Amino acid sequence: MAKIALSGRTDVGLKRTNNEDTFVVRPELDFCLVADGMGGAAAGELASRFFAEAALEVFSESDAASVQDLPGRVQKAFSLANKRILEHVKEKPKHEGMGCTAELMAFFDGGFVLGHMGDSRTYRFRNGELKQLTHDHSLVQNMVDQGLISSDEARTHSHRNVILRAVGIEKNLSLDLIKGKTQPGDLYLLCSDGLTDMVEDILIREVLTSDISLPQKVEGFIELAKLAGGADNVTVVLSHVLGP
């Protein structure tokens, strides 16, 4: 198994009073995640926590998972979190509308499985090239896809916070499952929109290129988002494939 180094951090930002984001880095279980809660007040914070707890539960199961089982485990984590959020809302109707966007990345020897819902994102940085692996499930992304607005216009559009898919909103999940091969030296960035709404890809690439440690890169992203206004909670997780 290739060794994976992980580092993560979350910050409330400069405009919010509470942090609805959650992250998990568990190198011993070969997975990491970022979840961005929605629903206001304590509800969003609860939703992202439900997701983190469900993923930890699934990936901590004692039976060793094979590579073939990994997509099922990722799917199970999303499904379990979805079920628990919906059950919570049934018990506490005042939390109606709570949910979370989520990125969950599980590594195996030579590859990864990534679960994606919402407008949090995952990027891969390889040989100097930054590639967004996920596609935002948002109204403005649909408008960009249809050629109605540009990517630059989407960043400041009044409807940029309208999410079309999230965990805990509907009984039937529509999850993007992305599989890929890893190479030694790969860097994978999982982040909430608190980073990507504030920091352009060119700056993200600069941080990833810089000759500093993984935790320093994470810290750099948080500081860049805050320097740009820190309008939202910002959460960053970095995975570095070190090789066998």
Domain range list for the chain: 3-132+165-243
pLDDT of residue 152: 79
| pLDDT at position 161 over 90 | no
Percent of all residues in the chain with a pLDDT value above 70, rounded to a whole number? 96
pLDDT at 133 over 70: yes
Q: Residue 183, SS3? A: coil
pLDDT at 6: 98
- What pLDDT does residue 125 have? 98
Overall average pLDDT of the 63-70 stretch: 74
Q: What is the pLDDT of residues 166-225, one digit of tens each?
A: 999 999 999 999 999 999 999 999 999 999 999 999 999 999 999 999 999 999 999 999
The overall average pLDDT reported for the chain is: 93
Spatial distance between the Cα atoms of 36 and 52, rounded to a whole number of angstroms: 11
Containing H/E element for 236? Answer: strand 234-243
* pLDDT band at 12; cut points 50, 70, 90: very high
Q: Tell me how far apart the alpha carbons of residues 186 and 100 are, in angstroms, rounded to a whole number.
A: 27
Average pLDDT over residues 27-51: 91
Q: How confident is the model at residue 74 (pLDDT cuts 50, 70, 90)?
A: very high
Q: Report how far residue 1's alpha carbon sits from residue 224's, in angstroms, rounded to the nearest whole number.
A: 34
Q: Tell me, what's the pLDDT at 61? A: 83
* pLDDT (average), residues 156-172: 87
Inform me whether the pLDDT recorded for 65 exceeds 70. no
CATH architecture observed for domain 3-132+165-243: 4-Layer Sandwich (3.60)
Q: What is the pLDDT of residue 153?
A: 79
Q: How confident is the model at residue 68 (pLDDT cuts 50, 70, 90)?
A: confident
**Beta-strand relationship, 129-132 and 99-108:** unpaired
pTM for the predicted model, two decimal places: 0.94
